[in-house]
């Protein structure tokens, strides 16, 4: 018996084990998928090889890319900003997802007339919108009807400044300016 016959016998003994048989059966069963995957990889490798060998096409591709990048007029500040933006993406993505959900909700709500009516009634309970609209209409009508074209005197302005509504408005405006100065 030669060394080759002995090696062949060892291989046959190994193949007769149930574990080896199951593995071979699995390989034979999956062989079409493996073949398809290998062919796909060969096609892609062939494409990459041909593209790399085709210097004219490669140079053309690189030149086109360079022209497009140059037309953007990017400088160091732009690149640093892009890097910073990329670093913020993990924080921005959840916010953008929430914004998208909110946008979808608002779009759906505004598209439903019952929801809009309910929303308007709810807001009107908190902020009397209808009353404000009535006040504005009456004010506009009175202003159009009033033919007084006389000058506003200092005394008239002084009387206006004493009006409680004007006083509250000025106090609110003064508070707003204080808050703005602190921020």
> Would you list the DSSP string of 85-148?
HHHHHHHHHHHHHHHHHHHHHHHHHHH-HHHHHHHHHHHHHHS-HHHHHHHHHHHHHHHHH---
Mean pLDDT to the nearest integer, 3-9: 76
pLDDT of residue 84: 92
**At 39, is the pLDDT very low, low, confident or very high (cuts 50, 70, 90)?**
very high
Mean pLDDT to the nearest integer, 115-128: 77
Average pLDDT of the chain is 85
The answer to whether residues 15 and 21 touch, using CB atoms and an 8 Å cutoff, is: yes
**CA–CA distance from 150 to each of 45, 54, 125 (Å)?**
89, 87, 40
pLDDT of residue 1: 57
**128-158 pLDDT, tens per residue?**
777 778 888 888 888 888 877 677 788 888 8
Q: What is the 3-state secondary structure (H, E, C) of 3-28?
A: HHHHHHHHHHHHHCCHHHHHHHHHHH
Residue 32 predicted with pLDDT over 80: yes
Q: Following CA atoms 69, 71, 75, 79 in sequence, which dihedral angle do they give, to the nearest 10 degrees?
A: -40
Percent of the chain at pLDDT above 70?
A: 96
pLDDT of residue 61: 82
Residue 182 predicted with pLDDT over 80: yes
> From the CA atom positions of the chain, what is the Rg in Å?
40
């Amino acid at each position: 018996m030669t060394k080759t016959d002995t090696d062949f016998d060892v291989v046959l003994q190994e193949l007769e084990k149930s574990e080896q048989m199951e593995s071979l059966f699995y390989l034979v069963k999956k062989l079409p998928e493996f073949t398809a995957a290998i062919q796909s990889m060969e096609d892609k490798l062939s494409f990459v090889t041909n593209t790399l060998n085709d210097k004219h096409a490669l140079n053309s591709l690189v030149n086109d890319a360079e022209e497009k990048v140059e037309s953007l007029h990017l400088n160091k500040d732009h690149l640093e900003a892009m890097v910073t933006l990329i670093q913020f993406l993990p924080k921005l993505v959840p916010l953008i997802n929430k914004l998208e959900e909110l946008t979808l909700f608002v779009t759906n709500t505004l598209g439903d007339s019952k929801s809009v009516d309910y929303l308007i009634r709810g807001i009107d309970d908190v902020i009397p919108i209808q009353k404000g609209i009535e006040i504005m209409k009456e004010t506009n009508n009175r202003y159009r009807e009033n033919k007084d074209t006389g000058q506003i005197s200092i005394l008239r302005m002084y009387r206006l400044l004493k009006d409680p509504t004007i006083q509250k408005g000025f106090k609110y405006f003064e508070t707003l300016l204080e808050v703005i100065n602190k921020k």
